[in-house]
Every structure is written in C-alpha cells, then in structure tokens.
Amino acid sequence: MSRQKQLTYSQASRELQQIISEIESENVDLDVLAEKVKRATYLIKFCKSRLRDTEEEVKKVLTEIEDKAEETGAGDGASDKNQQDIT
C-alpha cells in the first residue's frame, strides 16, 4: 500500500517505459509476462488518473484567474469607455 502512495507520475512513466522495452525486446520470460502486463495496466491507469487530476486543477486555476481578471477589468473598461465618450 505504501508503494502506491509514494508512486509519482515520473516514476510510473519510467517503469512503464522499462516494461514496454522489455516486452518489445522479447527478453521477458513467458511466466513473467502476465505480471508485467498487469503492472503496465496499473501504471497506465495511474498515469491517466494523474493527468486528469492535473488537467482539472489547471482548469480550476485558470478559471479563477479569468474570473479575477474580469472583475478588475470590468470596472476599468467602463471608466475608459466613459472617458472616450467625453472626449
């Protein structure tokens, strides 16, 4: 269980690349192949989950930034327009 908590995206990606290389080079013993495929499947799911989570976090932050920019920009834009109308 602690192995799963300590796993990072980079570590999972490296391990997955290593498994793929071993399978492609056909150096994997047939008895070990099923375990390698299971581990690769887990790593793929883990990486996809981390990517989804990161994408959601980035979208949230960008939305917050845009909302703040609109709040501060709306007041400034209105006063600029009024000044242009006067001149």
pLDDT of 1-60, one tens digit each?
A: 445 568 999 999 999 999 999 889 887 788 889 999 999 999 999 999 999 999 999 999
The tokens describing 18, both together, are 């290593």
Q: Give the pLDDT band (50/70/90) at residue 87.
A: very low
- Domain limits for position 18: 2-86
- Looking at residue 86, its pLDDT comes to 55
The answer, yes or no, to whether residue 76 has pLDDT greater than 80, is no
Question: Are 43 and 12 in contact, with CB atoms under 8 Å apart?
Answer: yes
* Residue 23: exposure state from Cβ atoms within 10 A (0-12, 13-18, ≥19): middle
pTM over 0.85: no
* Domain count of the fold of the chain: 1
- Looking at residue 1, its pLDDT comes to 44
